[in-house]
Amino acid sequence: MLFGAAIMLHRLFTHGFQPLPSLLIYLAINAIVCIVIYAHIALGESTLHQIVFASMMITSAVRTSRLITTTVKDRVLKKQMRVVGTWALGLFLLGYGLWNVDNQFCDSLRSVRHTIGLPWAWVFELHGWYV
């Protein structure tokens, strides 16, 4: 998850860069991601993981919006991209919200899944929908 966001963040911030600065930014982003993952595993704490992921996604969304505003000249295309971006933001917020619900109520949801059984148990899998 974090590495996927890191790839997107890197591409958005190094658009048009020379190879060396792009590589340095790549290394910096991935070093931060590795530190966060290590902290997540070593401490068993997911709050930092969630905050970093949300920050990366928000930064990516802002940068994408800025790139669209500054580089796309066609008004119709710009409007279409805004519609797609709005849908993407809404779906991300829904997924992020479900992920956090699942993190908070994992044990309760697991018992509900076992109680109702398949095929309806998948409804309460939440994080499993996008993994």
Is residue 73 within a helix (H) or strand (E), and if so which, with residue range?
none
Where does the pLDDT of residue 32 fall: very low under 50, low under 70, confident under 90, or very high at 90 and above?
A: very high
Residues 6+ apart with CB under 8 A from 1: 53
User: Strand ranges (DSSP E) for the chain?
Assistant: none
Tokens of 90: 């809404």
Overall number of domains in the chain: 2
Tokens of 93: 């917020």
Residues 64 and 86 in one domain: no
Q: Which of 71, 91, 110 is the last residue of a domain?
A: 71
- What pLDDT sits at residue 129? 61
Q: Which structural domain, as residue segments, surrounds residue 37?
A: 1-71
Residues 4 and 62 in one domain: yes
| Cα angle for residues 61, 67, 69 (degrees, 5° grid) | 100
Residues 9 and 35 in one domain: yes
Residues 60 and 31 in one domain: yes
Chain centroid, CA 99 distance in Å: 11
Task: Answer whether residue 131 shows pLDDT above 50.
Answer: no
Residues 63 and 14 in one domain: yes
Model pLDDT for residues 78-130, shown as the tens digit of each residue = 999 989 989 988 988 888 888 778 778 877 888 888 888 888 887 777 766 65
